[in-house]
Amino acid sequence: MTITCQPMDATAGSPTYSASNERQADAALYGGGSGLALGARSGFRPGAGNVLSVTSTTWTLTPGAAIITPGAATAQGSYRWSSDANSTGPITAADATYARKDIVYIQVNDSSSGDGSGALTAPVSYLAGTPSASPVAPTLPARSFLVGTITVPQAGGGSPTVVRNPAVFVAAGGIQPIADQAEQDGLTPYKGMRIRRMDLGFDAVYNGTRWVGGTGTIDTSGTDYSSFGAGYDSARWFESPDGMVMLTAIFKNANANVTTVPFVKYKVGAVPAAIAPVARIGAGVAVDSAHDAQPLGYIEANGDIQFSVNSSGTSTGSSFFVEYNVVWRSKP
């Protein structure tokens, strides 16, 4: 076992540290989420550099920096990587029949860490995929960080396109940008970890059990009502990182046999039980002006969204709409 505490003189003279010692000690400065005790989440430095572009013949990665965790050994740690000039290389010619997906990647070869590579390099490399009617990118080589994926159409099918890996690195305690649900699902979160979902525009904090904060659609399967329809972005719930939930939704009668008998409750949808109120709450709701009814809304502790009227009215048929706009605090 080696314990490294920096800075500290190893002897009366100059301190002696190995590169491995340096990487291990640096782990205290890196943001979490990788699931590795001494490794960071691999990612580009946010906000600058590392733009990947392609032409029909060449790929180019502009100067920039990244943190890369190769994972060849448990205590290997993470590597600070940078380039001060463009990295370029040729693209394999397009197939005559099928499209192809290629990758550009950075591979860390550190034989001093026992990775078996026989080298001390970290080049930017390119790997062509296999042409196919449904092409997939090739498997990322060991000890590598994906820079981006290049889609190469069949010959005569247009120019190649590229998608750079959106992963970014942050220091310890930093808000971690997350591109999408797949990247969020790949985290090993710690209590207090905060992320920013770039695709949906919200922050979330992990409370040790679940992510507090987010947004999602409302489950209307098997209910008496359904969402209002395509083109409406209101049938959603939103939760802030401090646990305040807002429900904004419009529902319509999806069952012509439903009769609005006074005080009969109908389930019109559901939010996840984790964000439901501690106990049933009432919700002020409104119906469309074409119907004479006095609506009552409820959000149950199990997440059910319910609706009733306290007069018989004439509120039947597929054109009956009910709107919710309500805020509550989710369970601890």
- CATH 1.20.120 assigned to domain 213-329? The reply is no
Residue-wise pLDDT for 254-293, tens only, equals: 555 555 555 677 788 889 999 999 999 988 777 665 555 6
pLDDT score for 231:
46
Q: Is the pLDDT of residue 311 over 70?
A: no
Residue 229 — very low, low, confident or very high, per pLDDT cuts 50/70/90?
low
Same CATH topology for 19-165 and 213-329: the answer is yes
For the entire predicted model, the pTM comes to 0.77
Q: Span 91-101, mean pLDDT?
A: 97
- How high is the mean pLDDT of the chain? 85
Query: According to DSSP H, which parts of the chain are helical?
Result: 19-26, 181-185
Residue 211 — very low, low, confident or very high, per pLDDT cuts 50/70/90?
very high
- Considering the domain 19-165 in this protein, what is its CATH number? 2.60.40
Q: Is the pLDDT of residue 154 over 60?
A: yes
Specify the DSSP class assigned to residue 203: E
Share of the chain above pLDDT 70, in %: 83
Q: Is the pLDDT of residue 314 over 50?
A: no
> 300 Cβ partners below 8 Å, 6+ apart?
276, 280, 306
Domain ranges, ordered by start, for the chain: 19-165, 213-329
